[in-house]
Chain A
Amino acid sequence: MSGARSEARDRATEQLRRGNAWRLYEIALWIAAAAAIFVLPSKMLLLTEIAITALFAISLDLVLGYAGIVSLGHAAFFGLGAYAAGLFAKHVFAEPVTGLFAAAVVSGLAGFAASFLVLRGSDLTRLMTTLGIALMLAELANQLAWATGGADGLSGITIGPILGVFAFDLWGRTGYVYSLAALFILTFVARHLVNSSFGLSLRAIKANPVRAAMVAIPARNRIIVIYTVAAAYAGVAGALLTHTTSFVSPDVLAFHRSADVLLVLVIGGVGYLYGGIVGAVIFTVLRDWLSVSTPQYWMFWIGLILIAIVLIGRERIARWDSFLPASLQLGIKRLATWRPGATLRESR
């Protein structure tokens, strides 16, 4: 029996180790993102938006993709972070990195408090609860006009240079490097989190809460922790938006933000961190391209594309290479899943 147990443990350790190893496509993605600073100097603002949306989507993926908690109000934490960063910069300290931490703490605390509500009830109640929290915060932001500027938004924020050195420029380069750095660091942390035993237990809870409870996984605590972490992530994304635009309005809490981020995740794929990033790239680029070419009707085209994605099925799009000869397919697969320290043949 002890032999079987140690074998299982070995398998689990091996699985975690493999999950933690860097894949070729990940490295390529980050190199491309960094290269964009020099290659696409005219697209800095769009790329900044992508980085912020991606971080927001990763935050939702942590609760939806890993813990299986559906949320229609994730903008609550995004907006809270945005306001926290704005008010912090206005009244406390104008340096942005400190502001990021402040926003993460505020949103994280709110997420911690909200997690107890989320624990009650099932999917449908959760949808209503999360939606309700976001709507309440949006109304609060409107009502507390003395602090938030109400519907007109919080203006007159001056964001200082990052770490007192790098000032935000008109081209948006500083803003992009700043947002990308935050995205990279937080993705790195999230990667470790979901590929740890903690992450495995989350997946167990998502797959079957009852069975997870049978093997003594404390679902309650795990959900509280991941919800708090995800809220802090969303808060940082909101704070990045405030810092790169030096403006906040109740729009950061609006329902369409929660809906958009869900769309982004659906497009990119739920349950693996890069889904958020891929979805953010596709969604933002598509929206920008369509709204430039047809300012009035771009929503129609977005809608059409989304329907197509749903009808064809994202999995089938992801298996775009299925019509290629088998040998080529294998080659692509090996290349895509290759990681340093392994020969091409070893990787699966």
Chain B
Amino acid sequence: MIARRSLIALSAGLVMSAGLGLPSWAEETFKVGLILPMTGPFASTGRQVEAGVKAYIAAHGDTVAGKKIELVVRDDAGTADQTRRIAQELIVNEKVNTLAGFGLTPLALSVAPVITQAKVPAVVMAAATSSITQASEYFIRTSGTLPQYSVPVATWAHENNITKVVTLVTDYGPGIDAETWFTKEFKAKGGEVVEAVRVPLQNPDFAPFLQRVRDAKPDAVFVFLPSGVGSLFMKQFVDRGLAEAGIKLIGTGDITDDDILNGMGKPALGTITAHFYAAAHDSPENAAFVKAFKDANKDMRPNFMAMGGYDGMHAIYAALEATKGDADGAALIKAMKGLAWTSPRGPISIDPETRDIIQNIYMREVKDVNGELQNVEFKTFKDVKDPVKSGQ
């Protein structure tokens, strides 16, 4: 019985390895392995990025430089060792030509050794800690970095007579990045950070922390929270009477994430944030994108995650066109360096030195536009590089 079973398994194995050895028909396809958290607490990130990627393919067709683009979507549930295993399997078994996705920093970092060893490019579409692109020569990023959009908030606050600020961030990598870079810029401009509050990642009850903010009586509170917990924060911000006490709410665009902004209701009105993308961005490219996105995904509004996925696919398409269909990893990453194009979010490019994105950062205010809450842009910081790597 055992002998027969292993014989079956053996022949199955032989058939499989024989299949791997026949690349003749496989040459026509170009495989993109999309690894995202599709389940668990970060599922909304995965859903938005995937929808962005699919919107791009729907709008631009699935053939590039004579190759058919094939998408292989995998769920890592936000667990780093799963991301790593899936990445490795996609490379050796599925023979993907490029990897993409990566919802959180540790998930992206876990694949760094694999992509370096296998010489396969990986397009970071969501994770936002600065150091990611330094972990491997094969990373490029089409989302953004937290320092990139924390610094402009400080600049704007200083210009608008805000001198005393309390910072409130989630206590993990990105939050500390946001706090550090906001504080650095704000102090350099002569502002004062009277208190720095860090909220635990696991405990989304802001009430006690907001009381401390209120007692400190600042001009404004600078907030970074991972996208998703914004609604709860807004409610408690109002409940604690911070707005009545004249404390302005400023922060990175993660707190007024387009995906959930509409559900926040009135409390969100007037919040000032900085980010690289708003669904209300005024351009013909964006109007077309938002429409296509909404058509393909019922009741969903694209947020910055979707934008990262959309532009990430563009980087892959453009690189493949530049190499004339050559799917070699090194050639692709070379072609991606220095790419520049007009995205729905505005003009963007890939820094050839750091492989990180250079983009406009917009200051926005939450307003009611035709019955929908929107982040309405009112000021632009042009061509912002990641300040960590540009040595500011």
Contacts and interface: CB of A to CB of B under 8 A. Distances in A.
B107 to A, nearest CB: 9
Interface string B77-117: 11111001100110111000000000001100110111001
B347 interface: no
A45 B73 contact: no
A49 B5 CA distance: 23
B367 interface: no
A171 interface: yes
Given A246-B113, A249-B110, A41 B85 contact: no
A170 B9 contact: no
A247 interface: yes
B201 A142 contact: yes
B18 to A, nearest CB: 12
Interface string B331-370: 0000000000000000000000000000000000000000
Contacts of A197: none
Given A40-B13, A296-B75, A241 B81 contact: yes
Contacts of B243: none
B75 A298 contact: yes
A220 B200 CA distance: 37
B106 A249 contact: yes
B89 A35 contact: no
Contacts of A299: 39
B256 interface: no
Interface in A283-304: 291-292, 295-296, 298-299
Task: Indicate the size class of the contact surface on chain B.
Answer: 35 or more
Contact of A151 (B17, B74, B105): B105
A41 B93 CA distance: 9
Interface string A145-168: 100001111011000000000000
B173 interface: yes
B39 A155 contact: no
A245 B85 contact: yes
Contacts of A172: 88, 92
Contacts of A170: 88, 91-92, 114, 117-118
A247 B84 contact: yes
B96 to A, nearest CB: 13
A32 interface: yes
A298 to B, nearest CB: 7
B85 A39 contact: no
A39 B92 contact: no
Given A42-B92, A155-B112, A150 B173 contact: yes
Given A42-B16, A247-B84, A151 B106 contact: yes
B34 to A, nearest CB: 9
Contacts of A38: 10, 13
Nearest to B89: A45
A251 B79 contact: yes
Contact of B80 (A32, A247, A256): A247
A46 B201 contact: no
B254 to A, nearest CB: 15
B73 A295 contact: yes
A31 B5 CA distance: 12
A216 interface: no
B2 A31 contact: yes
A255 B84 CA distance: 20
Contacts of B172: 142, 150-152
B129 interface: yes
Contacts of A295: 36, 38-39, 73-75
A39 B9 contact: yes
Nearest to B170: A151
B188 interface: no
Interface string A125-139: 000000000000001
Contacts of A156: 135
A35 B6 contact: yes
Contact of A171 (B5, B74, B80, B92): B92
Nearest to B81: A245
Given A152-B106, A152-B109, A155-B135, A245 B84 contact: yes
A205 B89 CA distance: 45
Contact of B173 (A32, A48, A49, A151): A151
A46 B85 contact: yes
B20 interface: yes
A39 B105 contact: no
A245 B255 CA distance: 33
Nearest to B1: A335
A339 B252 CA distance: 67
Nearest to B37: A295
B171 interface: yes
Interface of B: 2, 5-6, 9-10, 12-13, 16-17, 20, 36, 38-39, 43, 47, 73-75, 77-81, 84-85, 88-89, 91-93, 105-106, 109-110, 112-114, 117-118, 129, 131, 135, 171-173, 176, 200-201
Please list the 3 inter-chain residue pairs (A to B) with the smallest Cβ-Cβ separation, ordered nearest first. A151-B172, A153-B106, A295-B75
